[in-house]
Chains A and B, each alone.
Chain A
Amino acid sequence: MSILFQGRATGATAVKQSLWNRFVMFWVHHLRQAMASLGEIWLTPASSLLTVAVLGVSLTLPVTLHLMVKNLQQVSSSVDQAAQISLFLKADTNETQIAELIALLQANPDVADVQFIDKSQALAEFTAESGFGDALSYIEDNPLPHVMLVSPKNTSSAAASALLATLQQERYVELAKLDIGWLERLDAIVSLVRQVAIAVALLLMVAVLLVVGNTIRLMILNKKDEIEVMKLVGATNSYIQRPFLYTGIWLGFFGGILTFLIEEVLLWWLKQAISSVTQLYESTFTLQQLSLAELGYLLLVAVGLGFIGSLLAVRRNISQIEATGL
């Protein structure tokens, strides 16, 4: 609507269009502007490439740390034996009491598996493996207790130690033992790495925002004359800033893609080294890569950062350019 001239038909609103037509044109218009911004990037390849490279490298570090956490968690969850609780039974426990305890444990919802090791079986094992062999045969009574190995359903160290505390209370149990020391250490390391990843990610995101913002700011200054002319013929700030916002989105998108590519190369390069380590530990470790959903999040974050960075730049700079005109 015209402000000065009541009833003066202005703009495309003067042309009668159906709602559907307008809806389609809205998207066509935005698509066209997005493509125009893409062309703009293509026209200034050097500075755009540099910006995309900075984005790609910056985002690679947090993504790498994320993958590290993911793989460490896989390690900690694959070693469920670590969370196995050994119950040493009282020496005078008889067979019916043992059967009773086994039944009780199997009924416990927190227990995944119960394995009973008879004391004579344990002695035989010990004789075979310890190397004391003959010396042990001089012992008249078997000094070893019956042992029950209990695997908890939830292998996190907190849940395992809670189960340990309850099993300790059982009537026939002399001593319950859980070797969670190294599991706790691993958990602590994983959570440390995760904290570091979050901190690094936040810092680098700020860096990405600043880099995108600065690139867009330079683009705006380069087009100062053009923006001035547009203001003189009646372009609103939001109209002028739209192409720059699209440019920011594109920069973010390409930065995200570059991050993914760097990450893939990095994983391919590390795969050899990692597999030689895991072979030494006879582990069935498989290197976790970026999943499709994670790739989606990565692109979303990258595009979001590009958008916000350019938004900050246009907010500051476009309204400052005033038509000096005549």
Chain B
Amino acid sequence: MLRFEQVTKSYSGGFVALDRVSFHLEKGEMAFLTGHSGAGKSTLLKLISLIERPTTGKVFINGVDLSRVSRGQVPYVRRDIGMIFQNHKLLMNHSVFDNVALPLVIEGFSGKDMIKRVHAALDKVGLLDKVRCLPHTLSGGEQQRVGIARAVVNRPPLLLADEPTGNLDPDLSKDIMNVFEAFNQVGVSVLIASHDLSLLARMRYRTLTLKNGRMINDGLTSYGADE
């Protein structure tokens, strides 16, 4: 589903954010991406969502070489990837419904079909009763779940999350993770960047560990080894 081949990303000034990173995330697999801040987690996610392009090496999604995707095609690629952000990236002056409906509106949905999908997505994250609220009236965990609903509303085959539990207490974190597991169980590939090691220990999924831009571990037990 998602494959990195010897990907290096260096910025002007000589800073190397990712150094020859290779890994392969299978279709329907769920994995964590971990490492200290500055280890290259965000850069890796940016390369997948085409916010940045690799300096050398190649990124493949479903066998499609992302370096072949032109600037004009980038929006269409992003529609196939559900993205969840640490700071939610919600439109604060629009209702929860409008926020979740945004990807559908962009793709040209309207009317009943759109309403049905938005309600289904909000139902999955347990926020159906907040459909008319404005985001700032919601708690941090609820805002994060609105972000998740927006990411999954057009049923993407690949889900990326950047520190989705960053500001949440352990119980809320667990709720959020359960939501991701539920999507994974219906066949969605999920990659979650997180530095919440206790959470990773509990979840027991494959863990990719980055350190100073290099992939130092790829497997189940990585979280203990690095500390």
A86 to chain B, nearest CB (A): 75
Query: A39-72 vs B: 1/0 string, CB under 8 Å?
Result: 0000000000000000000000000000000000
Query: B95-125 vs A: 1/0 string, CB under 8 Å?
Result: 0000000110011111001000000000000
- A5-13, A254-262, A276-284 - the one binding chain B: A5-13
Find out whether the CB atom of B73 lies under 8 angstroms from the CB atom of A3.
yes
Instruction: Determine whether B64 belongs to the interface, using a CB cutoff of 8 Å to chain A.
Output: yes
Chain B hits for A3, CB < 8 A: 64, 69, 73, 76-77, 80
Chain B hits for A94, CB < 8 A: none
Find out whether the CB atom of B89 lies under 8 angstroms from the CB atom of A232.
yes
Output the nearest chain A residue to B99 by Cβ-Cβ distance: A229
CA distance A323 to B107 in the complex (A): 18
- Decide if the interface of chain A is mainly helix, strand, loop or mixed: loop
CA distance A302 to B51 in the complex (A): 39
CA distance A10 to B62 in the complex (A): 16
Find out whether the CB atom of B108 lies under 8 angstroms from the CB atom of A12.
yes
Given contacts A5-B157, A25-B110, 18 further A-B contacts (CB under 8 A): A4-B62, A4-B77, A5-B80, A8-B80, A10-B80, A10-B107, A11-B107, A12-B108, A231-B75, A234-B79, A234-B107, A236-B72, A236-B106, A322-B51, A323-B49, A325-B51, A326-B49, A326-B86
Chain B residues within CB distance 8 Å of chain A: 42, 45-46, 49, 51, 61-62, 64, 69, 72-73, 75-80, 83, 85-86, 89-91, 102-103, 106-110, 113, 150, 154, 157, 162
Find out whether the CB atom of B106 lies under 8 angstroms from the CB atom of A234.
yes
Find out whether the CB atom of A230 lies under 8 angstroms from the CB atom of B80.
no
* A interface residues, how many (CB within 8 angstroms): 31
Output the nearest chain B residue to A2 by Cβ-Cβ distance: B80
CA distance A228 to B51 in the complex (A): 11
CA distance A259 to B35 in the complex (A): 63
CA distance A235 to B49 in the complex (A): 13
Instruction: Determine whether A126 belongs to the interface, using a CB cutoff of 8 Å to chain B.
Output: no
Chain A hits for B78, CB < 8 A: 231-234
Closest 7 CB pairs of A and B: A11-B107, A12-B108, A234-B79, A234-B78, A236-B75, A326-B162, A4-B80
Query: A1-37 vs B: 1/0 string, CB under 8 Å?
Result: 1111100101111010000000001001100000000
A239 CB contact (under 8 Å) in B42, B62, B64, B106: B106
Instruction: Determine whether A324 belongs to the interface, using a CB cutoff of 8 Å to chain B.
Output: yes
List 6 A-B residue pairs with CB atoms under 8 Å apart, sorted by A's residue number.
A11-B107, A15-B113, A229-B91, A233-B78, A233-B106, A325-B46
